Structure 1
Amino acid sequence: MVETEGRSFSRCDWLRRSSGAGSCSELRISNQNNMMAGDESRRLQQALGVLRNILSTPETVTSLSSSLERQRTGSQAQEQHVTNNVSHSAVESELRERFRPANSQVASAGQADEGGQTGGSLRYQTQLHFGKWNSRPRKRAKTVYHDTFNKDIILLPGPSSTAVIKHRTKQQLHEHGHILNGFEFQKSWDHRTVTDQIRDAFGEKLSADVSSRMATGCLVPVRDILQDLATKIKHQKKCKFNINRSTVLDGAIRGLNEGHTIHVTLFSVRFSDDMGVPEEAVDLCGPRREFLRLLMEALPKSPMFEGEEGKLNLAFDSSEDRYFIAGRAIAVSLVHGGSPAGFLSPTLFSCLVDGPELAKPVLEDVADIDLHEKIKRVTEGKSLEDLLATTEPLDEYLANAGCLRPLRRLEDKNLLVDDILMFQVIHRVRGPFERFRDGLRTLGVLDKIQAHPESFRPLLCWSPTNLTADLLDSLFTIRLSTVGSNRRSAEEVVVPFWRDYLIDAEG
C-alpha cells in the first residue's frame, strides 16, 4: 500500500493513475511473460550445456554421424524405389498402349492391372497373348525354281578386251545398241543355243564373219577376212604409180592421200632408179608387192613412230597428214596382198581395238631415254622422302603435262606414274592417233581389226616366231626371165629345188 496525503492506494491504483490507462490484469500478464522468458532462457542455457558435453565426447559424435548416414541412405533408397516404380509403370503403360491386344479379355486384364489389381504381370500378359518367349523353329521358305533367269549382255570390241565398261562408255554402248538389258536365258539351253540366241538378239550389230565365228567357236582365218575385203577393189579401173625406191614414202604420200582413189583400184607400180632411168615391168604383182614391202620398211624409220624396234608407238609430229597416209598404207598393204606392218606396240594395238581411254601403257613405251630414267627412279622409290626427291626433277614436266598430284604417302607413286605414262604415250599424240586411225578405216580394215583382234595381232604386232621354210621363202621375190626364153626354162627348174632345200633345212 502507498500512503499519500492521508490516503492509502494500492499498487494497482498507483499504476493506473501513473499510466493513465490499463488495469491490474495487464500487469499480471506482463509479469507472467517475463517469468516465461526467464524459464526459456534457462532451458536454452541448459541445452547448450548438454550439447557442449555431447560434442566433447568422440564416441557420441561417431554414433550420431552413423545414425544420420543410415537415415540419409534409407531416404535415397526410398526415393529411388519410388522413381523406379514410376518408370516401370510408365514403360508398362507405353507397352500396353503400343501392343494393345485385340480381344476384350486381354484389354480387361490390362485395365485391371492398371487399376492396381493383380491381374498378372506384363510379362505374363505378353507371353499369353503374343506367343511364347522361347523361339520357335522357323519354317524354311519353300524354294521356288524358275526355268529362266536374266542377265545383261555387253558387246565388246573383241575377246582381248578386259576393261570394265562403266559410266560414259556404257552410255555410248547403250546408244549404239551394244548392250542387252535383262536378256532372258532358258536354263535348258545348251552352249550352241545360247550362242544362237545372242547372235539373233544383236542382229545387224554383228557382221556375217563375227556371227560365223560365234557359231564355230574359233578364230576366223585372217586370209579369209582379207579376201573378203579384197572384193571391194574395183578391177575395171587401173592406175599407174610412179615410185622411186630411195623415196618410197614420198611416193606413197602422193598416191595415197585423201583425194586419190588408188586404194580402191588395181594399181601398177613403175620404178625408176636414182638417175631417173625408168625400170618398167609387166606387173604380175611383183613390183606392187615390192613397193608395199619397201613402204612397210620405210614407215617404222620415219619420224611418225618411236620406241623399241618391233614395238613402236606414235611420235609427235606436226604433219598429221602423214599419219593418215601411214594408216592407209598399212590397210592397202594388207588388202592388196602386200607385207604386213608387224611393228606396232601392244599398247598402240590396244588403242586401235579398245580405244585410247582403255589403254594401259607401260614404262617400255616411253622412247625418251632421259624421261624413261626419271620415271624409273620414281618407281624404285622405297620411302616418301625418296619419292619427293625423285619427282623434284620432273616438276616442270608435270606442270606442263597437267600431272601434278599431291604426294602424301608412298602408294601415290603408282597413280603418278600412270598419269605420266598416259600423257606421254596416249594424250600427247591424241591428234596424230585420230588421223592414223582414220587412215586404217580404208577398205574397212579397222572394223575387221576391232572385230578380230587376235587374228590381226600377228600381222600388226611383232612376236617371236620360229623360222619356217614358208617364212623364209616369203622373204625372197623370184624374178623370172621372159616367157619362152631358155633362161626362163632353166629358172623354172631351179625354183622347186630351192624350195625343197628350205624344207630340208627346216626339218
Structure 2
Amino acid sequence: MDGEEIAGLLQAHSERVITSGKRQIYISRANVWTTALRQFKRPWFAENCDMLYVTFASDEQGGEEDAADLGGPRREFFRLLVKAIFQDSGAFEGTPTGCTPRLNILHLQNGEYRTIGRMMSTIIVQGGEPPAFLSPHVVDYIVSGDILQVDVTPDNIGDPELRQNLVKVQHATTQEDLEDAVSCCDSWRFQVEGLPLVVTMTNRDVFVKNAALYHALLHRQSCLDQLANGLSYYGVLSLLRENPSLRVLLELPEEDKDLTADFVAGVLKPSYSVLGSNRRPREELTVVKFWEFLQCVENKELRGTFGDRTLTEDEEAFLKTLSPSHILAFATGSSKVPAIGFHPSPKLTFVHDEHKHLPVAHTCVNELQLFVNAATAADDDEFNYYLLVALMNGSVFSTI
C-alpha cells in the first residue's frame, strides 16, 4: 500500500471503532510518561473507545493552558507520547535495527507492556504520528503471532557485548577462532537448552541463529505477548494481521529522513486574498520569506541571516536543533504527517495588522498565521527573528 491507501484504510477503520463521546485526559509536558501512564492504566479508560480530549497542565503558569482540544493538543500529546514510550518508559532498549522490549519483571507484573500497546493503538487510530520505532523482528512476531516464523539475527539483540560475541562466532574463519569466540558465550550458553554443546564450523550457524532467537525473542516473549495484547485495543492487531503492509506503522524505517523544507512548504498551503486585491502582493512576499526561512533552516544557514544581531544563549542553542519538522509541529502539533493524514489540511493564513508580529499556530485547525505589516515585510532579519521566537515558545504561540 502507498501512503494514500494506508490513510484511507485507517480513516475507515477509525470511523468504525471510535465511539461518539470524548475522554478527558490531563497531561504535563514536563512528565508526559508519568501522567499518561496514570490515565491509560485506569480500567474505565482502557475499556472506553471515545476520542481523547487533551488538556495540558502549564507548569510555568501553575494552571491549565487555555486551549480546547479540537485536534492540535491531541496530536502534540501523541508526538510527545511516542518519544516518552521509547525513551522514558524503561520498557524498551535499542538495537541496530530498532527498539525491542526490555525484560522488566515489574513492568510485566504491572501490565505496562499491555498499556503501551493500548497507547500505540490509540495513537494510530486517533491520528498521531505512527510509533514506528520497533525492530523488524518485533513487528514480525506481532504480525505473525508465531515465533518460529520470525527471522532473527544478532543485530536484533540489545546487549552490545552479547551481540558482539555472537557476531564473532558468526564470522569465525577457523576452528580455533570459533572456539575462542564461543568461549566468550560460556556465561550463558549452557543455560539455554537445545544449543549445541560443542560448536563446530558445521553447526555454527545453527548456534548463532538459535542463540539470537532466544535472546531477542524467547527471553522476552511474555513482554511481546503483552504488547500484542494491548495492540488489540481498537482492533489494531487484527487490522495489522489482515493487512501486513501496515507494519510500517510500527517498524523503524531503514532510512528515517527528516522532512525537507520543500515538503513542509508543500504541506502548508497559502490561503491568499483574491487576485487583484492590494493585499495579495504583500501576502505573496510573506510566503516567499517563509519559504526562504525553511530553506535556511534545512541548510543550517539561518544564523547567518541575523547578521550582527545578538541572540540569547537559548536562541543560539535552539538554532542548532531547528529543522523543518519543527515548523510542521508548531503549526499542527505533529512533526510528521500522521498515517491517517491531516484533517483539515494544513494552511498558511495572513493577518494584516501593523501592531502584531509573532506568528501564531492554531493547531486544532492546522493553521499557521503570519502577520503582514511593515515590520515583517522589511528587507531585514525581523521576519526570521519573529518566527524563531514563536517556534522557541511553541506552547505560548500555539492556540485554539
| 5+ long unaligned stretches in structure 1 | 1-212, 499-507
Whole-angstrom CA distance in 1 between matches of 2:178 and 2:143: 35
Q: In the alignment, what sits opposite 2:395? A: none
| Structure 1 residue matching 2:133: 3-state secondary structure | coil
Query: Closer, same or farther in 2 for the Cα pair 1:298/1:228, shift >3 Å?
Result: same
Residue 368 (structure 1) shift: 0.9
Residue 463 (structure 1) shift: 3.2
Match of 1:249 among 33, 54, 65: 33
Q: Is the 8 A contact 1:331 1:443 kept in 2?
A: yes
Q: In the alignment, what sits opposite 2:57? A: 272
Query: Closer, same or farther in 2 for the Cα pair 1:375/1:235, shift >3 Å?
Result: closer
Normalised by the length of structure 2, the TM-score is 0.62
User: Does 2:23 align with 1:239?
Assistant: yes
Q: How does 1:418-457 map to 2 (within 5 A)?
A: 418-457=209-248
Query: Closer, same or farther in 2 for the Cα pair 1:352/1:495, shift >3 Å?
Result: farther
Whole-angstrom CA distance in 1 between matches of 2:96 and 2:31: 21
| Structure 2 residue matching 1:282: 3-state secondary structure | coil
Query: Closer, same or farther in 2 for the Cα pair 1:288/1:227, shift >3 Å?
Result: same
Whole-angstrom CA distance in 1 between matches of 2:23 and 2:134: 30
Whole-angstrom CA distance in 1 between matches of 2:200 and 2:96: 37
Q: In the alignment, what sits opposite 1:312? A: 99
Q: How does 1:421-500 map to 2 (within 5 A)?
A: 421-457=212-248, 460-464=251-255, 467-468=259-260, 469-470=263-264, 472=324, 475-478=328-331, 494=370
Query: Closer, same or farther in 2 for the Cα pair 1:422/1:235, shift >3 Å?
Result: closer
Q: Is the 8 A contact 1:441 1:447 kept in 2?
A: yes
Whole-angstrom CA distance in 2 between matches of 1:397 and 1:431: 20
Whole-angstrom CA distance in 1 between matches of 2:206 and 2:15: 48
What are the Cα deviations for residues 276-300 of structure 1, in whole angstroms up to 9, with x where unaligned?
A: 4322311121111111110001111
Residue 459 (structure 1) shift: 5.3
| 5+ long unaligned stretches in structure 2 | 268-323, 333-346, 361-367, 378-382, 384-400
Worse-matched range after superposition: 404-413 or 430-439: 404-413
Normalised by the length of structure 1, the TM-score is 0.50
Whole-angstrom CA distance in 1 between matches of 2:17 and 2:81: 20
What are the Cα deviations for residues 246-305 of structure 1, in whole angstroms up to 9, with x where unaligned?
A: 221222222222613365112211111346432231112111111111000111113211
Aligned pair count reads 280
Query: Closer, same or farther in 2 for the Cα pair 1:386/1:493, shift >3 Å?
Result: closer
Query: Closer, same or farther in 2 for the Cα pair 1:285/1:309, shift >3 Å?
Result: farther
User: When you count helix as a share of all residues, which structure comes out higher?
Assistant: 1
Q: In the alignment, what sits opposite 2:76? A: 290
Residue 457 (structure 1) shift: 1.4
Q: In the alignment, what sits opposite 1:322? A: 112
User: Does 2:218 align with 1:342?
Assistant: no
Whole-angstrom CA distance in 1 between matches of 2:156 and 2:95: 8
Worse-matched range after superposition: 404-413 or 458-467: 458-467
Q: In the alignment, what sits opposite 1:396? A: 187
Q: In the alignment, what sits opposite 1:259? A: 43
Give the aligned CA root-mean-square deviation in angstroms: 3.3
What are the Cα deviations for residues 20-46 of structure 1, in whole angstroms up to 9, with x where unaligned?
A: xxxxxxxxxxxxxxxxxxxxxxxxxxx
| Structure 2 residue matching 1:385: 3-state secondary structure | helix
Aligned AA for 1:305? F
Q: Is the 8 A contact 1:264 1:443 kept in 2?
A: yes
Aligned AA for 1:364? D
Residue 398 (structure 1) shift: 0.9
Q: Is the 8 A contact 2:352 2:371 kept in 1?
A: no
| Structure 2 residue matching 1:338: 3-state secondary structure | coil
Residue 366 (structure 1) shift: 1.4
Query: Closer, same or farther in 2 for the Cα pair 1:488/1:324, shift >3 Å?
Result: farther
Residue 460 (structure 1) shift: 3.4
Q: Is the 8 A contact 2:359 2:371 kept in 1?
A: no
Query: Closer, same or farther in 2 for the Cα pair 1:235/1:477, shift >3 Å?
Result: farther
Whole-angstrom CA distance in 2 between matches of 1:411 and 1:438: 39
Whole-angstrom CA distance in 2 between matches of 1:393 and 1:489: 60
Q: Is the 8 A contact 2:27 2:55 kept in 1?
A: yes
Whole-angstrom CA distance in 1 between matches of 2:359 and 2:37: 40
Aligned AA for 1:476? A
Worse-matched range after superposition: 319-328 or 435-444: 319-328
Counting aligned pairs with the same residue, the percent is 22
| Structure 1 residue matching 2:330: 3-state secondary structure | coil
Whole-angstrom CA distance in 2 between matches of 1:348 and 1:222: 21
Query: Closer, same or farther in 2 for the Cα pair 1:256/1:229, shift >3 Å?
Result: farther
Query: Closer, same or farther in 2 for the Cα pair 1:488/1:249, shift >3 Å?
Result: same
| Structure 2 residue matching 1:339: 3-state secondary structure | coil
What are the Cα deviations for residues 79-105 of structure 1, in whole angstroms up to 9, with x where unaligned?
A: xxxxxxxxxxxxxxxxxxxxxxxxxxx
Q: In the alignment, what sits opposite 1:377? A: 168
Whole-angstrom CA distance in 1 between matches of 2:16 and 2:132: 24
| Structure 2 residue matching 1:221: 3-state secondary structure | helix
Query: Closer, same or farther in 2 for the Cα pair 1:266/1:464, shift >3 Å?
Result: same
Whole-angstrom CA distance in 2 between matches of 1:458 and 1:256: 21
Whole-angstrom CA distance in 1 between matches of 2:95 and 2:199: 34
| Structure 2 residue matching 1:283: 3-state secondary structure | coil
Q: Is the 8 A contact 1:343 1:461 kept in 2?
A: yes
Query: Closer, same or farther in 2 for the Cα pair 1:490/1:346, shift >3 Å?
Result: closer
Residue 219 (structure 1) shift: 9.2
Query: Closer, same or farther in 2 for the Cα pair 1:465/1:393, shift >3 Å?
Result: closer
Aligned AA for 1:337? G
Q: In the alignment, what sits opposite 1:222? A: 6
Query: Closer, same or farther in 2 for the Cα pair 1:489/1:376, shift >3 Å?
Result: closer
Higher relative contact order (CA 8 A, sep 6+): 2
Query: Closer, same or farther in 2 for the Cα pair 1:475/1:401, shift >3 Å?
Result: farther
Residue 327 (structure 1) shift: 1.0
Residue 401 (structure 1) shift: 2.5
Query: Closer, same or farther in 2 for the Cα pair 1:295/1:365, shift >3 Å?
Result: same
Whole-angstrom CA distance in 1 between matches of 2:218 and 2:254: 26
